[in-house]
Chain A
Amino acid sequence: MAAYIFRRLLRTLLVMVGISVVVFAFVRSIPGDPAVAMLGERATPEASARLREQLGLNQPWFINFKDPAHLFNAQYPKYVGALLQGDLGNGIKSQIPVASELKNRFPATVELALGAIIFALLIGLPAGIIAALRRNTVWDNLATTVSLVGVSMPVFWLGLLLSWFFAVVLGWLPPSSRLGIGYTIVPITGLDVLDGLLRGQFAAAWDALRHLILPSIALGTIPMAITARITRNSLLEVLGQDYVRTARAKGLSPRSVTLKHALRNALLPVVTVVGLQMGALLGGAVLTETIFSWPGLGSWLYDAISLRDYPVIQGGVIFAALVVSLVNLLVDLSYAFLDPRIQYA
């Protein structure tokens, strides 16, 4: 197992190097100049050229052939040199260090992703199980319809609708943001709900939880629908297999057959899908974060792409790729836990 994990981590490192080159070249290849994007309506050719020069964007990308004495006086070698020292650079306009923003924003993204996945599992798993066990009944139809609606609903629209109904009409929950005015939680993990509890600030933790509910529902609706469908289909498939029939023939209770024998096997594809979704959610959720003014990675990266903020895009994508790789590794390792027949050597 240890050797397997080591090999996977080594492979992840190689993937990161590859991604750094690809992202570096890719962001510079997409049309649209950072200087022009920064200047907006003011972007005359002269102003853009001056700013491009100031920002060092006129330097060669990889190798400076014009000056053989300083071949590596180019953008990528400088970037990698800084990267090896843990410096991801600063936002091109804001000058905010990318690393410090990742540190500030990633916990917010993790908290929202966890909220969304918990919502998805709390609703999706029981719905899928009930739909499978009560196949072709009104419950099955209801679960299938809800999951279809969930998959089809635009997050943007759902977010605004939730916010309007629960915050404006009912006044039960705050419309957006992560924490109410007047609350401050000194971070331990960066997850406000957890940190509030750990620090004994129960009112603040409750407030953070109230802020988390609506964005979690908005973000978790699609994973919930997918989870319900995958669980239903997977469980139906497993329930039709010989060993389940054997278990029933042995006189085991239906509850025991379903929970101990069928469900555990049926969960393997569910774990794969939930893991993939978790990986995607940890890369940031642009629309949900924008609608709910959630200070996570998604809206930050989206703005960076609009502004062609190269250091932020590079740092953000490399970080997101690292997170996705590690989550995938965890998912692979969880298979061994769920199915003892699987062994990693």
Chain B
Amino acid sequence: MNRNKTNAVFKPLLLTALLAASAGLSAQAATLVFGNNGEPVSLESGNITDGISILVQHQIYDTLVHFKDGTTTTIPGLATSWKANADATSWTFNLRKGVKFQDGTPFNADAVVFNWQRFFDPKNQYGYRDQGRTYEIVGQLLGGFKGEKGAVIKDIVKVNDSTVRFDLNMPSSVLPDVVGAGYFGIASPTAIRKDGAKYGTPNSTPVGTGPFSFVSWKTGDRVTLKANTAYWGTKPKVDTLVIRSIKDASQRLNELKAGTIDFTADLSPDSLKDVTGDKTLAAVRKPSFNVGFLSLNNNNQYLKNDKVRQAISMAINKKAIVDAFWNGLGVSSTSFLPPVLSWANSKTVPADYKYDPAAAKKMLTDAGYANGISLDLWYMPVSRPYFPNPKPIAEAMAADLSAIGIKVNLKTEDWAKYLEDRNKEPGFDMYMIGWTGDYGDPDNFYAAYYGPNAADDINFKSPELNTLLDQGRAAVGQAAKAKIYSQIQDITYKANYRLPIVHSQPLAARRTYVQGWVPSPLGSEAFNKVSVIGKK
């Protein structure tokens, strides 16, 4: 056999073998493994309040409104467009056509109305409230349930197969942001009817329109999902997505380093050096969308004095504290709003509190307390992204305050009791707490801690503030909103009842082969754009 003949025979064979091998490679099932910081509470949309559940649900369900990658800017989701009437008391959503749930049933206006009615109508038969369902997030974000005083939504009606309308009891410009929040995924009505009251538990099959379909939920261990190849948006880049429950942050880092998970979030800020020092890993700084703050109680005889509160605001070296405890993964400012919402900040309020212990001491003397005062400072017994390590942070603040003559008694207690006791009169003198946003509007931050009755813990009442909050919720357009929220910041800054300490950037990390992951500030990104090319 001459050389040409040999080539003629072997070249096609070689080519075929190479093609077969590459086909084999591409056909190899790609699995993406995420290390979640705990277990989802439920896979039933509308009936959760926690970020861990949101992250899992967002793979299975879509919401009507989505958010642009890595931002809080609304973009079309299951609704392609939406429009309010002139006074924002009615919102009409045009729905995406041709979308199917993972069980093959059609997504349409009936499905949207079915889901939202069960969320907000206490009498809805598919809400299963007699069997323990509560949907309290609706009460939280939308003022109450159907028929209740203060409820934002009056009714949800089908206009036609691809149009629904939310009729409101009061103007609200933030409704699209709220319905886009990760809590409110649209589930298949057929699946809910089939599974009944067990829908959302591990013994059921949650069905949405999202990029991944439910396979199994092994409690305490993992949720396994598979790619929804019929997804209407960007098709998933992997075949299987496994979301593991790994509560301990150090262990999540161990898992990542060992290569048994591909990416994870909510690592301790202390881990930054460890992550950046490992060539196989890449640190991912999640956008900041939280605030950790110190609340000062107006019921306390000293703290009701404006000068004492102002002295405290000047005595705490916030920048030093943030630098020391957040490892560069946080910023301090005067604003209750995270940097992404800084468009709503006042132009007249300084960027940060002035750290001036001498002036603070003088202010305390001017208040009539030259010999100092004694106050309790309560710190949280749990770790949160906004206060990952509350005790040493409290100790640092206590040291700063003692330097101006305020003797601080550090206190803590069980978390459930902490949350309860802060609201029991007279409440805590000073206490640490925080907030992580649900949607990208200043209302979600201010209303949570300055809304009607939301500042009872510190006995701070301001009718002017409440009026402005109502106006802010109704205002349409960023310019109109900015005008109102800048006034709100003027008031809250001068009041000095809640001193923002930090807006932290939760630390996440990935193996270097993980590409396409853009974490959402809202913690609700789908993983359909994430790939693991080169994973061994």
User: Which A residues lie at the B interface, using CB under 8 A?
Assistant: 31-34, 36-48, 50-51, 54-55, 90, 92-97, 100-101, 104-105, 108, 160, 163-164, 167-168, 171, 174-182, 290-296, 299-300, 306-308
Contact = CB atoms under 8 A, between A and B. Distances in A.
Contact of B251 (A51, A171, A175): A175
Contacts of A300: 219-220
B420 A293 contact: no
Contact of A50 (B129, B136, B414): B136
Nearest to B382: A306
22 contacts: A31-B414, A32-B416, A32-B420, A33-B416, A41-B435, A41-B448, A42-B448, A44-B453, A44-B454, A47-B140, A50-B136, A55-B132, A94-B42, A96-B203, A167-B254, A168-B254, A174-B258, A175-B260, A176-B246, A290-B247, A293-B247, A295-B245
Given A50-B139, A176-B246, A293-B221, A95 B201 contact: yes
Interface in B217-237: 218-222
Nearest to B452: A46
B414 A32 contact: yes
Contacts of B246: 176-177, 293
B49 interface: yes
A176 B257 CA distance: 12
Nearest to B218: A295
B33 A181 contact: yes
B379 to A, nearest CB: 14
A186 B257 CA distance: 30
A54 B129 contact: yes
B375 interface: no
A131 B417 CA distance: 49
A95 B132 contact: yes
B132 A296 contact: no
Interface of B: 31, 33, 41-42, 49-50, 129, 131-134, 136, 139-140, 197-198, 200-203, 218-222, 242, 244-248, 250-251, 254-255, 257-258, 260, 414-417, 419-420, 423, 433-436, 448, 453-454, 456
The residue among A104, A176, A300 with the most chain B CB atoms within 10 A of its own CB is: A176
Given A104-B219, A177-B244, A295-B220, A94 B416 contact: no
Nearest to B433: A41
A295 B219 contact: yes
Contacts of A54: 129, 134, 136
Contacts of A178: 221
Contacts of B456: 44-45
Task: In the A-B complex, list the 9 residue pairs whose CB atoms are closest, starting with the nearest.
Answer: A295-B220, A32-B416, A37-B416, A32-B417, A175-B254, A295-B221, A167-B258, A31-B417, A36-B420
B31 A181 contact: yes
B220 A39 contact: no
A306 B380 CA distance: 14
A213 B50 CA distance: 33
Contacts of A31: 414, 416-417, 420
Contacts of A292: 251
Given A31-B414, A294-B220, A295-B245, 7 more contacts: A40-B49, A47-B139, A95-B131, A100-B203, A176-B246, A292-B251, A295-B218
A54 B130 CA distance: 9
A96 B139 contact: no
B132 A46 contact: no
A285 to B, nearest CB: 13
A174 B260 contact: yes
Given A46-B453, A95-B201, A175-B260, A101 B219 contact: yes
A95 B221 contact: no
A311 B25 CA distance: 49
A39 B201 contact: no
B451 to A, nearest CB: 9
A50 to B, nearest CB: 6
B416 A290 contact: no
B42 A290 contact: no
Nearest to A50: B139
A105 B220 contact: yes
B56 to A, nearest CB: 13
B416 A96 contact: no
B248 A290 contact: yes
A292 B250 CA distance: 11
A100 B222 CA distance: 17
Contacts of A90: 131-132
A55 B41 CA distance: 16
A96 B251 contact: no
Contacts of A299: 220, 247
A181 B201 CA distance: 22
Contact of B423 (A45, A108, A182, A290): A45
A268 to B, nearest CB: 37
B371 to A, nearest CB: 35
Contact of B258 (A33, A175, A291, A306): A175
B245 A45 contact: no
Nearest to B31: A181
Nearest to B448: A42
Contact of A176 (B251, B416, B453): B251
Contacts of B245: 293, 295
A153 B414 CA distance: 25
A158 to B, nearest CB: 13
Nearest to A156: B248
A160 B416 contact: no
B93 to A, nearest CB: 26
Contacts of B200: 95
A171 B258 contact: yes
A104 B220 CA distance: 10
B413 to A, nearest CB: 8
Contacts of A164: 254
Given A94-B41, A160-B250, A299-B220, A36 B419 contact: yes
Contact of B242 (A37, A40, A181, A308): A181
B31 A47 contact: no
